[in-house]
Amino acid sequence: MLAIEADALRRTYTSRTGWPKSRRTESEAVRGVTFDVAPGELFGLLGPNGAGKTTTIKMLNTLLLPTSGTARVFGHDVARDPVAVRRRIGYVFGGDRGLYDRLSALDNLRYFAELYGVPARAQKRRITELLDLVGLLGREKEKVEGYSRGMRQRLHIARGLLHRPDVLFLDEPSIGVDPVAARDLRRTVADLAATGTTVLLTTHYMAEADELCDRIAVIAGGRIRALGTPDSLKSLVRERDVLEIEAYGVDEERLDRLRRVPGVRGVAAEDRGALQTVTVQTGRGAAELHGPVLAALQGVRLGRVTSREPSLEDAYIAIVEGADAATVTGTATSAGTHTGTSAGTVGGGAGAVEGTASQGAAV
Ligand SMILES: Nc1ncnc2c1ncn2[C@@H]1O[C@H](COP(=O)(O)OP(=O)(O)OP(=O)(O)O)[C@@H](O)[C@H]1O
């Protein structure tokens, strides 16, 4: 039996806006999402802000009713049998809410164990087991207010596992966690998956997804744009090279200018304080493009410029940009053309997803 089966899931939000006359507006957050997760699998949902990841998770964990479509967790329908679903799942979200700061980690876990109906006899052993799993054994008597963000997140995970769920939903667990603590957190998640728990993880950190996930679905605009193992997603950009440019003060207009350089297949920028890292994807061995790319950035203060192999992040950018183009143009085959070049493997791949309905590209 599958751990999770989502079939053509849709969710529309209705809200009222305007004054004095309010109008009903509808927005489609999830537009027909279909995927399966096998028992014991660590499955990642990646996507830009507003893609529909949290809404999808909330339908699967019974916090939101689907507008249409169906979802099952270990065979239990989320809409018809939410109580059975809740018994099988745990839910951990990023951020600070959900723990009592003035209590120790141990007392937090004791409190939630009572709340979740963990039998009194089993509580002590279960709590010790979980503290060990999340690496907090020995620190359990300290008040949570003194805990770092990473420790809190690991305690959240322990809390979510108290009732021995078969499926754990982890919604951006590493948000705001420093790199060293994030590494510990990844270890915890990997250990957890090794115990046979099915994990559905959303994250914005590609390295995390690459290291942890058996399979990943990339979701954008409420639809799955690609689905496969990290390696198969990376193979979508195998035919590309990536130029990484350190720069200061590159605005959207410049990025658009870069996108229009013939031969450029994808552009993204990440801010790290004043310093930006601009990544430019080109075809394999297109060293002749370095000149026009740098020319498009003329007048901008530049740092190091390096050429490297494509990563999962580059595949992700290509898939999401392809999805944007498909949405803008409304056609599958022209995905990627907004870069001013031919669609290429990824544009075509992501477009093909768009064209073949909700399943996504199994790559
Ligand atoms: N309660 C709500 N009412 C109206 N619109 C909502 C509501 N919750 C989410 N949305 C909208 O639905 C879309 C999908 O949101 P969702 O939170 O599922 O995305 P996400 O992929 O989890 O994003 P993020 O990475 O920013 O958390 C967004 O456009 C969002 O603005």
Give the pairing type, strands 76-77 and 68-73: antiparallel
Calculate mean pLDDT across residues 179-196: 86
Q: Is the pLDDT of residue 209 over 90?
A: yes
Residue nearest to atom 18 of ligand 1 (CA): 52
Ligand 1 centre and the CA of 50: distance in Å? 5
**Contact present, 200 and 37 (Cβ < 8 Å):** yes
Statement to judge: residues 202 and 274 lie in one domain: no
More confident call, 351 vs 130: 130
Q: Which domain holds residue 333?
A: 234-359
Given 189, 221, 253, the domain boundary residue is: 221
In the structure encoding, which two tokens stand for residue 337, read together? 């053309």
Q: Is the pLDDT of residue 331 over 50?
A: no
129 in a domain, yes or no? Answer: yes
The pLDDT value recorded for residue 96 is 66
Given 221, 248, 270, the domain boundary residue is: 221
228 in a domain, yes or no? Answer: no
Statement to judge: residues 263 and 333 lie in one domain: yes
226 in a domain, yes or no? Answer: no
**Residues whose beta carbon lies within 6 Å of some atom of ligand 1:** 13, 15, 27, 29, 47, 49-55
Q: Is the pLDDT of residue 332 over 50?
A: no
Query: Please, which pLDDT band fits residue 5 given cuts at 50, 70 and 90?
Result: very high
Task: State the ipTM, two decimals.
Answer: 0.96
Check which CATH number belongs to the domain holding 58 and give it: 3.40.50.300
Cα 138 to Cα 185: distance, rounded to the nearest angstrom? 17
Element (H, E) at 8: strand 4-17
Check which CATH number belongs to the domain holding 318 and give it: 3.30.70.1710
Ligand 1 centre and the CA of 331: distance in Å? 25
Mutate to test the pocket of ligand 1, among 30, 31, 53, 201 (most ligand atoms within 8 A of CB): 53
Query: Please, which pLDDT band fits residue 165 given cuts at 50, 70 and 90?
Result: very high
Indicate the SS3 state at residue 20: coil
**Segment 260-290, tens digit of pLDDT:** 999 898 898 988 888 999 999 988 877 888 8
The pLDDT value recorded for residue 103 is 94
Cα 226 to Cα 43: distance, rounded to the nearest angstrom? 13
Statement to judge: residues 8 and 146 lie in one domain: yes
**Segment 278-328, tens digit of pLDDT:** 999 988 877 888 889 999 999 899 999 998 888 899 899 889 887 666 554
Looking from the CA of residue 55, the nearest atom of ligand 1 is: 18
Cα 317 to Cα 119: distance, rounded to the nearest angstrom? 47
Query: Please, which pLDDT band fits residue 62 given cuts at 50, 70 and 90?
Result: very high
Calculate mean pLDDT across residues 132-154: 91
Ligand 1 centre and the CA of 30: distance in Å? 9
Ligand 1 centre and the CA of 14: distance in Å? 12
Distance of CA 17 to the CA centre of its chain: 30
Query: Please, which pLDDT band fits residue 206 given cuts at 50, 70 and 90?
Result: confident
Q: Is the pLDDT of residue 76 over 90?
A: yes
Mutate to test the pocket of ligand 1, among 10, 11, 12, 13 (most ligand atoms within 8 A of CB): 13
Calculate mean pLDDT across residues 110-128: 91
- How many independent structural domains does the chain possess? 2
Q: Is the pLDDT of residue 178 over 90?
A: no
Average pLDDT across the chain, whole number: 85
Looking from the CA of residue 58, the nearest atom of ligand 1 is: 18
The b/e string for 78-87 (b: 16+ C-beta within 10 A; e otherwise) is beeebebbbb
Ligand 1 centre and the CA of 67: distance in Å? 15
**Segment 6-51, tens digit of pLDDT:** 999 999 998 887 777 888 888 999 999 999 999 999 999 999 999 9
The pLDDT value recorded for residue 325 is 60
Residue nearest to atom 6 of ligand 1 (CA): 13
Ligand 1 centre and the CA of 120: distance in Å? 39
Ligand 1 centre and the CA of 54: distance in Å? 7
Give the pairing type, strands 23-37 and 4-17: antiparallel
List, in sequence order, every residue forming a beta bridge with 236; answer none if it has no partner.
Answer: none
The pLDDT value recorded for residue 169 is 94
